[in-house]
Amino acid sequence: MTPRLLRAPGRTALAAALALSALALLATGCGASDGGGAAGTAANASDVTLTLGDQAKNLQTIANASGAFKGAPYQVKWAEFEGAAPLFQAAQAGAADTTYAADLPTLQALSGGVPIKAVAALRNDGTAVGLVAGKNSPVKTVADLKGRTVVVSSAKGSISEYLLANALREAGLSYSDVKVKYLLPTDAQAAFGAGKIDVWAIFGVYKAVATQQGGREIVNGADGRVSGYGFIGATDKALADRTKRPALADAVQRLGTALEWARTHPDAYAAAIRENNGASAEVAKTIVSQSYGEVVPITPEVTRAVQMVADTMHGIKVLDPNVKVADSVDTTLSVK
């Protein structure tokens, strides 16, 4: 059965919509309540509301299950989207204060003029991204992709596209050796399940569902095929707001607490995914194993690694204009 989190109404319309669609998807979130939370509270302003951007309920599931935002001195709402592209549209429209995405979607947003700064880094082993062949596809290796169409989700400049570019390079192929078609994840999932997609470049829960449906993973982002970094971003407007800024600093710490809980409580995290998102036990287990494991500071090492991603994608004209990563971060919201 398709997980409920992949079937939220109105999400495909988000690919073309801006402010109104983003605002329509703002979900009521967890408000301040009694209990524990991350150390280091922010402003004593209960009337402050942060709208936290999320993809496929990833952060919200972990935050709620871990209780990381209990006791927060501000209100929290969640803006849920199926991919990075509509999430960044929401941030640009003022409908989300923060973003949550892999490195390349963040770079694409910055290149496109979305007014955000990366404020903390996320890290995993890269296996959450993969190229998956349909169960009836003759494609067995990356070399077999020559002359074929690859569906990339969710949009031009996604982390899935970076994996495709790197995998092709490793196999001695050029990016022009394949034809790329872009589809949002839910649209692509339906087509993949119906056998209409030969190879799908995809990530996260959608990748887990694709393999559960009989798809075969050709290659994933491990071993340096992707950087393994993602970013929590904040809009320039939220960073400049003297009441929201301390709340943002606190929220970053609490998200770090939430990811630490997820890493150290894998069974409880998997149970939360099954309960809240309708995923099967197999899919939930896969998501847990591939999730971002921690929130870390944006160090020069991080910016160098992500600059390599930017330069690679600029070289194949996917990221244009290029982005200077070190100039697109705000490291003053300290990550402990």
CB-based contacts of 225, cutoff 8 Å, min separation 6:
126, 163, 166, 167, 170, 219
Alpha carbons 78 and 101: distance in angstroms, whole number: 15
Per-residue pLDDT at 123: 93
Paired residues of 45 in beta bridges: none
- The sheet with strand 294-296 has its strands ordered as 98-102, 229-235, 116-123, 294-296
pLDDT in tens, 57-88: 899 999 999 999 999 999 999 999 988 889 99
pLDDT in tens, 5-60: 333 333 333 333 333 333 333 333 333 333 334 333 434 557 899 999 999 889 99
The mean-pLDDT minimum among 41-55, 206-220, 235-249, 285-299 falls in 41-55
Would you state the structure tokens that stand for residue 172, as one six-digit string? 């001695």
pLDDT in tens, 116-134: 999 999 999 999 999 999 9
Are 162 and 112 contacting, i.e. CB atoms less than 8 angstroms apart? no
Would you state the structure tokens that stand for residue 71, as one six-digit string? 């006791």
Per-residue pLDDT at 277: 80
Alpha carbons 304 and 140: distance in angstroms, whole number: 33
Neighbours of 64 (CB within 10 A): 18
Per-residue pLDDT at 28: 30
pLDDT in tens, 159-176: 899 999 999 999 999 999
Residue 197 has pLDDT above 80, yes or no: yes
Mean residue pLDDT across the chain: 86
Alpha carbons 119 and 329: distance in angstroms, whole number: 6
Q: Which residue has the higher pLDDT, 35 or 242?
A: 242
- At residue 154 the predicted structure's pLDDT band, cuts being 50, 70 and 90, is confident
